[in-house]
A and B are shown apart, each in its own frame.
Chain A
Amino acid sequence: MGITRTPTSLTQSEATRGGIGESTLRPDGTLKVTGEFAYSSDLWHEDMLWGYTLRSTVAHATIASIDTGEALATPGVYAVLTYDDLPTEVKHYGLEIRDTPVLAHGKVRHHGEPVALVAADHPETARRAAAKIRVVYEPLPVITDEASATAPDAVLVHDGREDHHIGHVAHPNIVHRQPILRGDADRAAARADVVVSGEYVFGMQDQAFLGPESGLAVPAEDGGVDLYVATQWLHSDLRQIAPVLGLPERKVRMTLSGVGGAFGGREDLSMQIHGCLLALRTGKPVKIVYNRFESFFGHVHRHPARLWYEHGATRDGKLTHVRCRIVLDGGAYASASPAVVGNAASLSIGPYVVDDVDIEALALYTNNPPCGAMRGFGAVQACFAYEAQMDKVAARLGMDPVEFRQINAMEQGTVMPTGQLVDSPAPVAELLRRVKSRPLPPERQWETTEGADVRALPGGLSNTTHGEGVVRGVGYAVGIKNVGFSEGFDDYSTARVRMQVINGEPVATVHTAMAEVGQGGVTVHAQIARSELGVTQVTILPADTRVGSAGSTSASRQTYMTGGAVKNTCEAVREKVFDLGRRKFGTYHPAWATAELLLEGGRVVTDGGEALAEIADVLEDEVVDLELEFRHRPTQAFDLRTGQGNGHVQYSFAAHRAVVEVDTELGLVKVVELACAQDVGKALNPLSVVGQIQGGTTQGLGVAVMEEIVVDPKTALVRNPSFTDYLIPTILDTPTIPVDVLELADEHAPYGLRGVGEAPTLSSTPAVLAAIRQATGLELNRTPVRPEHLTGS
């Protein structure tokens, strides 16, 4: 029997314990739960100094003067740096557009922008010294929304833009605009029996990772610096850090330290350059740790958005056309805004077949907090709006909302609004069927023999109802997310794999620069190495920049990309092992030349199961050591006028059914159950897959009913930078989340897998909103829903 490596080589893994498809436990799990895991904030170095960042107290102002004299004179202070102290001509950084000053230059553009740095021998000394820096601001008018940003006389957030988007935007306060035109929406609209339109608002969500930004920069004898930091993409950081320091990249050696969550919020730099600058200036190790308050200013947030939609459908429930306009608030700096625009536009109509569309998405420059990457990345905001629209159209047609979605559901072979053919499974209708067919939780589930269990009611322990005013609602939603970096980006990942014999046993060592941010990547890498190399012992080396880039831990891409890279390198290592074996033992057995060979249980075996040699005997003192890059299929940029192009690598789909109890008098919500069905192609670690889906679902719930950074529209100041007032779901807010995992292989992907992490964040929010709408009869065009939206007070 011939054997292909993908995906039928899965059978091979089953022979080696702890291989792919098994729910092996994460090495960091127990440590994290017991509080022993060392996060980046736990870094320590003898004689280290503490860095502190002075941030702007206003959102938009020119800086008339900065007086650091008194701060510098403070005993214990080693350095105070401002823009004028930056050592090279490169004084800005950015993911795509270098528009972000390392320290404010003559102007601040948002609340909490870094203005000056202090290094001192004690964090409190640094903080107090920073408070003595006198900054004189001269206020400028604040740009806070589309109207103020694009007014003819609007103040420009960035003067003299030279980036590659300025040529195709209508106003310099627009970062990027992506239209998508396909078919003829006007003509299709004429066929519609019903046309439904709506305007929607999505609030600003924060990643709210629990481990605040932190790192330690240690100056090195060669004039370089060693940086230990919690981040999402070491090499992207490196590319931005080195030029500002005036160092070649090889002299900035980065090592990932313990990351306490990311969700997109660590894609942009935080303390990296600041820490290195202070370390190089003082010649001492410098640690910077943000507290929770500062963390709210230390990273970008999810773009708040305004979305206008028009859907048309025929009487028999077929969508005729969609028109939409999505305005994302990018805040003061570009960050990932251009890519978020591309996602929002290309995924704007959801997982449905619509041939005639007129789509526009854009991101603004404003003086609001900068927004960038967050789990779901542009697709989240769109999903909230198009799923609300789908319910509205179904209601107008008198159709069941799930059936209406199923009629229009895309499938393999559907063409996206971008013209891209969906060439792998897209089981949208099936996912909806699965969540719908689950039994509903019992009515009045809070009733017990001893009375009402308030934990099962809206308000929970706050004891606001014992059932009074409580109405149940059920809602559905489904979403589509791209996997991997899109629009022609050269997205690759690198893995180095070494195989050698230690104490008579074959051992594999895997080295990548993948940021383990909690997603479980290191667990999966070991599983892949065990499956591909037939070994039990796998060592995962710490992630650092001594190995090639692994790309970002984002876009649901790491299992696909760095997992794919590990698999790819393991396969090459395996071939080397076979070559060695053939040279040593080939003459003793013809199967070395004729059979398909596998590594299994520490031995070289034929696909017929015959053992040919122990791996240890093949290797002896030889070390096989390879570092290879792995790429997914190339993608294309979207045409700037029509949005056409094969922009995405892979799509992932999840559907939710939300069951909520709403206290209609008090406007409080208890989500009772959030059932999810998702196609993951192949679950390399089923336990991790379910964990990702439950986590993503909960993050979606958060922005449905509580999570929002509130920015004062008059001043652009953040009003709730704390966990007292920026609320994230507790375990009592987290419902039962039954998960139904489908595994329909994508033949283009390693093991047929489909990125998991983001899709569940999309449909969770609109499903909860739909359920609340059903319970209350209210339109609710804004998320998160607050109590006063439900009570009308």
Chain B
Amino acid sequence: MEFLRPASWQEALAAKAEHPSAVPIAGGTDVMVEINFDHRRPDHLLDLNRIGELEEWETGEDTVRLGASVPYSKIMAGLRRELPGLALASHTVASPQIRNRGGVGGNLGTASPAGDAHPALLAGGAAVEAESVRGSRLIPIDDFYTGVKRNALAPDELIRAVHLKKASGPQQFSKVGTRNAMVIAVCAFGIALHPDTRTVRTGIGSAAPTPVRARTAEEFLAAALDEAGLWESRKAVPPAVAKQFAVLVAAAANPIDDVRGTAAYRRHALGVMARRTLGWTWEQYRGHGSEQGSTSCA
């Protein structure tokens, strides 16, 4: 195995062009596990740790451009207001040590349905900035996940950053695991209210071959909110609407039975999480309730 250590982003792109099968490694929290378990034996590892700009983020007027290697702990600490859904999701990633190393680029590169960032990225409407020596492009998150642990990157492309709109409304993230910390998702759910566009976006993790949105549920909810004028009146969401939203979220999943949980439980749990997180975000939108569960850093 060859270990490539480009000193700059341009060098990294050149290396990736020369060795398209090279596996990029940043925090190593996923790649190294794969290598240690011998699940993967790439010819080349492409170390991105010398490229400092990947660990930076820029906050514009409306958007955040989040470097692929910004560690989860920094997202939690520094972007809680701008990207509340992703900050909450980051808090559920593994342990403090792993959160200090891992970043969103790794989650996207691996594209495991169990990656904790995906539901928040889907709900937030992210775009993935991919680049190669041929040029740069933005891949909408909706088009990014193409199969089990597969994504839309071309072999010579690297993930440089993720672009996300700053939250224009409340966002939430919930994940079920059978332990109260440091646990891989049995299933997960993200929701973001976008009052500026009067839309709702969602993301489901670990309950389908890829991370998915619950589009029918989103459309149903947006329509229900619109029809009842709730965006303006900020009145409570009728329980029947919340219930139907939960049913539609559960229906959007396509889970399996595995050692972590049953398909039936996953559907059930997604419904519960959908109903609760809708409640939390809507209450916050109405001006009640706390911003989120107080999740001081553990």
Binding site for B on A (CB under 8 A): 127, 291, 293, 448, 450-455, 457-466, 468-469, 665-668, 670, 705-706, 710, 719-720, 722, 724-725, 727, 729-733, 786-788, 791, 793
Contact = CB atoms under 8 A, between A and B. Distances in A.
A729 B181 CA distance: 9
B298 A788 contact: no
B218 to A, nearest CB: 20
A454 B179 contact: no
B204 interface: no
B290 A450 contact: yes
A50 B297 CA distance: 42
A460 B181 contact: yes
Given A453-B294, A462-B92, A787-B186, A727 B280 contact: no
B178 A787 contact: yes
A468 B276 contact: yes
B201 interface: no
26 contacts: A293-B37, A450-B294, A451-B289, A452-B294, A453-B293, A454-B295, A455-B296, A459-B180, A460-B180, A461-B91, A461-B92, A461-B180, A463-B92, A463-B173, A463-B175, A463-B292, A464-B273, A464-B276, A465-B276, A468-B276, A706-B178, A724-B184, A729-B179, A732-B182, A733-B179, A733-B181
A451 B174 contact: no
Interface stretch (B18-26, B122-130, B226-234, B262-270): B262-270
B152 interface: no
A705 B177 CA distance: 12
B276 A727 contact: no
Interface in B158-182: 172-182
Given A460-B180, A463-B172, 19 more contacts: A452-B290, A455-B180, A455-B298, A461-B92, A462-B92, A462-B180, A463-B175, A464-B175, A464-B272, A464-B273, A466-B293, A468-B279, A666-B269, A730-B180, A733-B180, A786-B178, A787-B178, A787-B265, A788-B262
Nearest to B94: A724
Interface of B: 36-38, 88, 91-92, 95, 172-184, 186, 259-262, 264-265, 267-269, 272-273, 276, 279-280, 289-290, 292-296, 298
Given A463-B173, A787-B178, A665 B272 contact: yes
Given A730-B182, A733-B181, A793 B37 contact: no
B51 to A, nearest CB: 28
A461 B294 contact: no
Contacts of B38: 127
Contacts of A461: 91-92, 180-181, 295, 298
A452 B292 CA distance: 9
A722 B184 CA distance: 12
Nearest to B175: A462
Contacts of B175: 462-464
A788 B92 contact: no
Chain A interface secondary structure, helix, strand, loop or mixed?
loop
A725 B184 contact: yes
Contacts of A451: 289-290, 292-294
Contacts of A724: 184
Contacts of B269: 666-667, 787, 791, 793
A666 B176 contact: yes
Nearest to B266: A793
B276 A710 contact: no
Contacts of B296: 453, 455
* Residue of B260, B273, B289, B294 with most chain A CB atoms under a 10 A cut-off: B294
A74 B53 CA distance: 44
Contacts of B261: 786-788
Nearest to A733: B180
Contacts of A468: 276, 279
Contacts of B181: 460-462, 730-733
B205 to A, nearest CB: 11
Contacts, number: 130
Contacts of A727: 178-179, 183
B259 A720 contact: yes
A565 to B, nearest CB: 41
Contact of A705 (B91, B173, B178, B289): B178
Contacts of A127: 38
Contacts of B272: 464, 469, 665-666
A479 to B, nearest CB: 25
Nearest to B179: A727
Contacts of A458: 180
Nearest to B93: A461
B37 A462 contact: no
Contacts of B186: 787
B268 A793 contact: yes
Contacts of B273: 464, 666
B265 A791 contact: yes
Contacts of A719: 259
A787 B295 contact: no
Contacts of A725: 184, 259-260
A463 B295 contact: yes
A448 B298 contact: no
Given A463-B92, A733-B179, A452 B293 contact: yes
Contacts of A455: 180, 295-296, 298
A58 B95 CA distance: 34
B278 to A, nearest CB: 12
Contacts of A665: 272
Contacts of A787: 176, 178, 186, 261, 265, 269
Contacts of A791: 265, 268-269
Given A464-B276, A665-B272, A454 B265 contact: no
* Residue of A454, A468, A667 with most chain B CB atoms under a 10 A cut-off: A454
Nearest to A468: B276
B176 A464 contact: yes
* Residue of A293, A457, A462, A788 with most chain B CB atoms under a 10 A cut-off: A462
A722 B36 CA distance: 12
* Residue of A461, A733, A787 with most chain B CB atoms under a 10 A cut-off: A461
A793 to B, nearest CB: 4
Ranked 10 nearest A-B pairs via Cβ: A460-B180, A451-B290, A793-B268, A732-B181, A788-B265, A454-B293, A462-B175, A793-B264, A719-B259, A450-B294
Nearest to A668: B176
Nearest to B186: A787
B293 A730 contact: no
A190 B169 CA distance: 69
A730 B179 contact: yes
A510 B106 CA distance: 53
B298 A732 contact: yes
Contacts of B176: 459, 462, 464, 666, 668, 787
B31 to A, nearest CB: 15
Contacts of B265: 667, 787-788, 791, 793
B3 to A, nearest CB: 15
A670 B180 contact: yes
A725 to B, nearest CB: 6
A448 B280 CA distance: 17
A258 B88 CA distance: 40
Contacts of B183: 462, 727
Contacts of A730: 95, 179-182
A791 B250 CA distance: 15
